[in-house]
């Protein structure tokens, strides 16, 4: 089988099995697919390491030891042994093993087959009819190459768009699919929800993209481009009743949640440190204040009530920091807050 065939098969398998579009990881898997052919001097691997190739050529036939389960086991043992001391390279080790195994397994479909169960000399071949097996450089292999290129482009495009689960979620448009994507990527990326539904207040149509702030009940708290916040769900207290929802993984953004304790001090002073350039900040929690007589709370029947007041108690849920500071900043309060900071400035 041609070197380019091994590259495509191993690279595509790596991308598909690891669900990645990372050029580095795919390249490692693709190049690993060439390594089994180090047992012959005319191969790309044999030309790079001629002394290793000469050793294998003198000791055993082509597609024997290096094209076996034993060889894959050795590569895995060495690779994962190294990863124990450097866990950050674990995905590269995954790619190495996938690429290597698919590299030699592809030769099962050639006329000579491989000694999969080496040191047993029995050759594994597929299909049983010799005339249907691939011959290196034949028209049939070039046809397979064209098919492989199409498959590879499809796999890379799917993974670059969020992976198979994201595409499936787009197809079925389910909140559970969006929840999975948010749980998987919400701490490292912005998650944008594509929503079709109606406003529960006036039954007007809603079609658009919103930033997911957090899960809420069976739905989500989302923010529109104008900064307004809504609960999108099928629950009675939703501002947007969902008909369809899908999600896209947006640009990188690190999300952190910090706890703040107020001991009879101004709210503004306790939250000032979270006012950062390039960050979206949302405040949740419960506070006790002396009096709410002079406090003017935002009242928008179309929005999610992210600040609620009852006697001397304030309840906040995903309240934007700017509004909390402008409306409540001078109040002295006691209580606990959780501050969610979504930072895109360092990406």
Segment 303-323, tens digit of pLDDT: 999 998 887 888 999 999 999
- pLDDT above 70: residue 152: no
Q: Which of 160, 175, 190 is the last residue of a domain?
A: 160
Is residue 12 within 8 Å of residue 152, measured between CB atoms? Answer: yes
Tell me: do 108 and 139 sit in the same domain: yes
Tell me: do 103 and 37 sit in the same domain: yes
Q: Which of 229, 252, 275 is the last residue of a domain?
A: 252
pLDDT of residue 112: 80
Segment 244-260, tens digit of pLDDT: 888 888 888 999 999 99
pLDDT of residue 69: 94
Task: Domain count for the chain, please give it.
Answer: 3
Segment 184-199, tens digit of pLDDT: 888 888 999 999 999 9
Count CA atoms within 13 Å of residue 213 on its CB side.
Answer: 28
Tell me: do 193 and 332 sit in the same domain: no
Query: For 208, phi and psi rounded to 5 degrees?
Result: 175, 180
pLDDT of residue 74: 94
**Measured between alpha carbons, how far is 195 from 192 in angstroms, rounded to an integer?**
9
Tell me: do 37 and 124 sit in the same domain: yes
Residue 314, domain extent = 255-343
Q: What's the pLDDT band for 138 if we cut at 50, 70, 90?
A: low
What's the alpha-carbon Rg for the chain, to the nearest Å? Answer: 29
Both tokens assigned to 49: 């390491």
- pLDDT above 80: residue 131: no
- pLDDT above 70: residue 162: no
Report, as an integer, the average pLDDT of 133-159.
Answer: 66
Tell me: do 10 and 140 sit in the same domain: yes
pLDDT of residue 347: 41
**Measured between alpha carbons, how far is 235 from 231 in angstroms, rounded to an integer?**
9
- pLDDT above 90: residue 338: yes
- pLDDT above 60: residue 346: no
Tell me: do 184 and 127 sit in the same domain: no
Q: Which of 131, 160, 189 is the last residue of a domain?
A: 160
Tell me: do 136 and 14 sit in the same domain: yes
Q: What's the pLDDT band for 295 if we cut at 50, 70, 90?
A: low
pLDDT of residue 173: 45
Report, as an integer, the average pLDDT of 33-59.
Answer: 89
Q: What's the pLDDT band for 172 if we cut at 50, 70, 90?
A: very low
Report, as an integer, the average pLDDT of 280-302.
Answer: 82
Both tokens assigned to 117: 């169960």
pLDDT of residue 321: 92
Tell me: do 12 and 48 sit in the same domain: yes
Token pair 């290129």 is found at 149
124: Cβ contacts below 8 Å, ≥ 6 apart: 108, 113, 114, 115, 116, 117
- pLDDT above 90: residue 177: no
Tell me: do 145 and 179 sit in the same domain: no
- pLDDT above 70: residue 24: yes
Report, as an integer, the average pLDDT of 221-232.
Answer: 94
Tell me: do 146 and 9 sit in the same domain: yes
- pLDDT above 70: residue 202: yes
**Measured between alpha carbons, how far is 5 from 307 in angstroms, rounded to an integer?**
60
Q: Above pLDDT 90, what percent of the chain?
A: 34
Segment 100-120, tens digit of pLDDT: 999 898 888 887 888 999 888
Count of residues for the chain? 347
Tell me: do 84 and 174 sit in the same domain: no
Tell me: do 66 and 96 sit in the same domain: yes
Q: Burial of 293 by CB count in 10 Å (0-12 exposed, 13-18 middle, 19+ buried)? A: exposed
Indicate the SS3 state at residue 212.
strand
Token pair 């191993």 is found at 10
Is residue 246 within 8 Å of residue 192, measured between CB atoms? Answer: no
- pLDDT above 50: residue 34: yes
**Residue 222 or 19, more confident:** 222
Report, as an integer, the average pLDDT of 31-38.
Answer: 91
What is the domain-level CATH number for residue 170? 2.30.30.690
Token pair 């709410």 is found at 292
Count CA atoms within 13 Å of residue 294 on its CB side.
Answer: 9
């Amino acid at each position: 089988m041609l070197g380019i065939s091994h590259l495509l098969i191993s690279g595509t398998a790596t991308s598909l099995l690891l669900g990645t579009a990372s050029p580095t990881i795919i390249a490692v898997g693709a190049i690993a697919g060439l390594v089994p052919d180090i047992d012959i001097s005319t191969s790309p691997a044999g030309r790079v390491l001629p002394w290793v190739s000469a050793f294998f050529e003198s000791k055993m036939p082509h597609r024997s030891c290096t094209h076996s389960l034993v060889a894959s086991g050795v590569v895995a043992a060495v690779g994962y042994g190294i990863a124990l001391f450097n866990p950050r390279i674990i995905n590269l080790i995954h790619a190495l093993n996938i690429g290597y195994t698919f590299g030699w397994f592809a030769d099962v479909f050639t006329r000579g087959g491989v000694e999969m169960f080496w040191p047993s000399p029995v050759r594994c071949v597929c299909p049983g009819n010799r005339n249907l097996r691939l011959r290196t450089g034949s028209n049939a292999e070039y046809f397979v190459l064209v098919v492989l290129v199409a498959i590879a482009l499809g796999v890379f495009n799917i993974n670059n768009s969020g992976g198979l689960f994201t595409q499936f979620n787009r197809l079925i448009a389910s909140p559970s699919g969006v929840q999975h994507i948010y749980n998987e990527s919400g701490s490292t990326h912005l998650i944008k929800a594509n929503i079709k539904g109606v406003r529960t207040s006036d039954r007007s149509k809603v079609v658009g993209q919103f930033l997911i702030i957090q899960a809420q009940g069976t739905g989500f708290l989302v923010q529109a481009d104008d900064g307004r916040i809504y609960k999108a769900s099928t629950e009675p207290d939703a501002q947007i009743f969902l008909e369809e929802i899908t999600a896209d993984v947006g640009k990188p953004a690190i999300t952190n949640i910090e706890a703040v304790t107020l001991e009879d001090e101004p709210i503004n002073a306790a939250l000032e440190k979270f006012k950062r350039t390039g960050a979206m900040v949302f405040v949740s929690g419960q506070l006790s204040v002396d009096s709410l007589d002079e406090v003017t709370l935002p009242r928008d029947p179309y929005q999610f009530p992210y600040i609620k007041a009852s006697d001397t108690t304030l309840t906040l849920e995903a309240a934007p920091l700017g509004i909390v500071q402008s409306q409540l900043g001078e109040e002295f309060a006691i209580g606990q807050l959780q501050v969610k900071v979504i930072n895109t400035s360092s990406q």
